[in-house]
Amino acid sequence: MAAENIKSLKHNLALVEQGALLSNLFLRLDIAIFEYDNGVFCALSSLPDWFDNLYCQQMAAGSGLANDGYHLEEAFPFIENFLFDAKKIWQKNTDDEIKSGIWTETPDPLNELNLEAIAMRCGERSLLLIVNETKHFDIRRKVFQRARDLALSNERLESSLYLHQRQLHLQIEDLYQKNQSFDEIQNNIQDESTAILICKQDGSVELFNKALIDIYAISKDQTPPQKSLLKKWSEEAEKQYPEIRRILATGQHWEGEFETEDDHQRKKWVRMMIAPMKSDDDSLEHFVCIANDISNIKLSEREIERLIQLDPNTHLPNRRYFWNQLNELVALNKKTGTCLGLIYLDIDHFKQVNNELGPEKGDQLLKTVANRLRQSLKKDDFVAHLGGDEFAVIIDNVDDEYMMSEIAMRIQENIARDVVFDDLTMNVTLSMGIAMYPKHGIKPHILVKNADYAMYHAKELGRNQYRITSPELHQKVKHKIQIEQGLKTALEKNEFRLLYQPQISLGSKGEFRMEALIRWHHPEHGTVSPADFISVAEESGLIIDIGRWVIETACEEAEKLNKAGYNAKVSVNVSAKQFQNGQLVSEVEHALNNYRIDAEQIELEVTESLFLHNLENIQKQLNELKDLGVTIALDDFGTGFSSLSYLKKLPIDILKIDRSFISELPDNQHSRTIVESVISMSHQLGIKVIAEGIEEQTQLDYLKELDCDYVQGFLFHAPMSSQDLIQLYQSIAPIKNKASRTKKLSNS
């Protein structure tokens, strides 16, 4: 009883520690987190001071921190408004989230808090996070301030140009109407800083001023301009204003901005007004063309665009800029028939850095990676920060995949240097995926998807590497993602089942024992092999839930067999993640109690890789399991590092010789030696041995000679359903009196 209390206390302490850790993490990230339940918000962790102060200030005195939770919608009208959208997310049973956008609170006249709310669904819980963005807000505001300042001054400049052109037009029209000669008009406009040209409807020049010569860099020997500028302009403007020819042909007024070329083929932007000059009888005689060089305004517009499209932390182009650039370059390469290379990059283990060292160090790391990426690339290569820890590089006009590989290697080399923070040094690596236009996709989004798949594959293969996409890889990764998605709901949808493969006792004292083997029936892909999904489940952490289900189901099966009169032992495979999770012992105990079976009816199979993790902790858990009464089997022995010291140190009852050695028996001398030694050594240590993968009678005969304890394989039985297993037992050892529970299953 005392032991149980201590265990329960430890379990509670572990939960408290986890809670404290999370609470600390949220405080460091400056996040107030709440669960929304029945119209009330409950804080899920300690709340940052700024929140407490603000909340108390907003609520009427005394009703601040009410016992019945927080009334955020009363305290913050912004949240009240956001709840409308948040509730839609909470009602959906998906992982979606929605952000409110930034809002500002002023706790006192000198300070501002810039906050953002995020609503999300987490399992069955409706969460609301209030994130304090004040630290990052200043950079963002500066970018927008600069962009809007520039936009404002451009707008003013454009307005004044527009006004000036109109005034000039009126002035020239007035002179023209008064029948002034072109010489007199020329005198009036000669020193005007705005370019003016008067021409006939066919474009032949009547007069022009000095500013026109300046804009168009017309040389002295070409003045007056011989070729028809009117025709040139209408052709240039036509790209943006297809209606211009019609307008001029019908003698109407036109205004607009377009890109033009001067006599030295230099590109410029002009704002031009072309107005008809008519005779008294309203027939068109001339056009007056009034133009200003607005290249500088256009340049600063680009600067605004650039500012808005830069990531404020890394100063690299952001996702929006990336998509614009990719679309543009793909269109360009399509025209020229050339290739383009895209690299998708992701910092390995960034999430861990961000969580453990805090967002400031995370930002610092992103900046360092951004700088190193810039250094690894040529000036014309395009690199963007897509958000989080993702970057992208576009290499225009590449020859082949080999060239992209070289660039990826250069990046890898340049990135893989230590990053030094104040008090610690860490090594950074990237995983990269490469896709080529047009080989791997002619549409930008397909190209991105393929590069992303390749990057995902690089991560799969152990990170710190690059992979070039291919149709096979695409399929493989897509399949894996589908498996990953499917696994999330497979338990809920009852898609797993256990099959049982009997293990046969070769000794005189036989018993009923079997290995439980999991199978997944995917609604679309049919039966998925454990080899295809167990590693995915381990990576995603779903193995914890799946493992718990396996233990429960195996215990249920043992109970069922008990009721049928067979006292059988069920062996269950357990993952290292289940040990790391720390709940395995209590889960096994719970299942044993739940189905009221003897602990010795359950055997847990572990692999050698388990001992690579915190051995002391593993040893402790194994001993606790042994204390419960379950037995421990070491699976796949011989395939790993097969350290004999573990056999001595750890409470192993059974050792399973891997099928790869058995399959070569009895002909292969090497395998024979290993199998003989393992069986002999195990027996000396008091450990029993199971040989798995028996398919031939000669293998069985040989193992009998060596006094192997148990055998398992297709020579005897394939894995079978629970129903078939009971039928098998009944055919071999019929139960007449169900009280008799100890029956033998022997191959004799």
Residues that bind other proteins (CB under 8 A): 77-78, 81-82, 84-85, 101-104, 106, 114, 137, 140-141, 144-145, 147-149, 151-152, 155-156, 159, 308
* Total Cβ atoms within 10 A of residue 402: 9
- Residue 611, Cβ neighbours under 10 Å: how many? 21
CB of 159 to other proteins, least distance (A): 6
The residue among 111 and 680 lying less far from other proteins, judged by its C-beta, is: 111
Angle 563-565-569 from CA coordinates, rounded to 5°: 90
CB of 119 to other proteins, least distance (A): 12
Residue type, 724: D
360 — alpha (psi -120 to 50), left (phi > 0) or beta?
Answer: alpha
Residue labelled with tokens 């102060």: 53
Q: Which residues of 149-170 are buried (b: 16+ CB within 10 A; e: fewer)?
A: ebbeebeeebeebeeebeebbe
Work out whether strand 526-528 and strand 512-522 pair parallel, antiparallel, or are unpaired.
antiparallel
State which residue, 103 or 549, has the beta carbon closest to other proteins.
103
Our CB check for other proteins shows the closer of 114 and 412 to be: 114
In the complex, minimum distance from the CB of residue 148 to other proteins, in angstroms, rounded to a whole number: 5
Provide the minimum distance between the beta carbon of 143 and other proteins in the complex, in angstroms, as a whole number: 10
Angle between helices 401-415 and 359-376 (to 10 degrees): 130
Q: Which is nearer to other proteins, 76 or 512 (CB)?
A: 76
Least Cβ distance, residue 164 to other proteins (angstroms): 13
Residue 101 beta carbon to other proteins: minimum distance, rounded to whole angstroms: 5
Task: List, as own/partner pairs, every contact residues 583-588 make where C-beta atoms lie below 8 angstroms and the sequence separation is at least 24, other chains included.
Answer: 583/11, 583/544, 584/547, 584/621, 584/625, 585/7, 585/621, 585/624, 585/625, 585/628, 586/7, 586/11, 587/548, 587/551, 588/551, 588/625, 588/628, 588/630
Complex with other proteins: residue 81 or 593, whichever CB lies closer: 81
Name the one residue in this structure whose structure tokens are 């028809």. Answer: 228
Minimum distance, C-beta of residue 298 to other proteins, in the bound complex (Å): 14
Q: What is the DSSP letter of 709?
A: S
User: Nearer to other proteins by C-beta: 95 or 155?
Assistant: 155
When the beta carbons of 145 and 475 are compared against other proteins, the nearer one is 145
Burial class for 364, CB neighbours closer than 10 Å (0-12, 13-18, 19+): middle
652's tokens? 């192993």
Q: How far is the CB of 544 from other proteins (least distance, A)?
A: 39
* Smaller CB separation from other proteins, 155 or 174: 155
CB of 117 to other proteins, least distance (A): 11
State the DSSP string of 272-314. EEEEEEE-TTS-EEEEEEEEEE-HHHHHHHHHHHHHHTB-TTT
User: Strands 31-37 and 125-132: what pairing?
Assistant: antiparallel
Return the number of the residue (115 or 288) whose C-beta is nearest other proteins: 115
Helices 584-595/543-564 angle, 10° precision: 30
CB of 78 to other proteins, least distance (A): 6
Q: Do the beta carbons of residue 391 and residue 370 sit within 8 Å?
A: yes
Supply the DSSP symbol for 222. Answer: G
Beta carbons within 8 Å of 585's beta carbon, 6+ residues apart: 7, 621, 624, 625, 628
Nearer to other proteins, 136 or 741 (CB): 136
**3-class SS string, 515-550:** EEEEEEEECCCEEECHHHHHHHHHHHCCHHHHHHHH
For other proteins, the closer of residues 108 and 492 by Cβ is 108
Name the minimum Å distance from CB 132 to other proteins.
13
144 versus 182: smaller Cβ distance to other proteins: 144
Instruction: Give the distance between the most distant pair of CA atoms in the chain.
Output: 130
Between 151 and 491, CB nearer to other proteins:
151
The span from the CA of 291 to the CA of 210, in Å, is 12
Measured from the CB atom, the residue of 154 and 450 that comes closer to other proteins is 154
Q: How far is the CB of 246 from other proteins (least distance, A)?
A: 25
CA separation for the pair 663, 698 (Å, rounded): 10
Q: At its nearest, how many Å lie between other proteins and the CB of residue 144?
A: 5
Of 149 and 705, which has the nearer Cβ to other proteins?
149
User: Closest separation between CB of residue 305 and other proteins, Å?
Assistant: 8
Please enumerate in sequence order all residues whose Cβ is within 8 A of that of 270, keeping only pairs 6 or more positions apart, or say none: 215, 257, 258, 260, 291, 292, 293, 294
Q: Where are the alpha helices (DSSP H) in 292-443?
A: 295-308, 319-336, 350-357, 359-376, 401-415
Q: Which two tokens stand for residue 274?
A: 């072309």
Residue corresponding to tokens 């240039």 = 236
**Min separation Cβ 27 and other proteins, Å:** 24
CA-only gyration radius of the chain, Å: 39
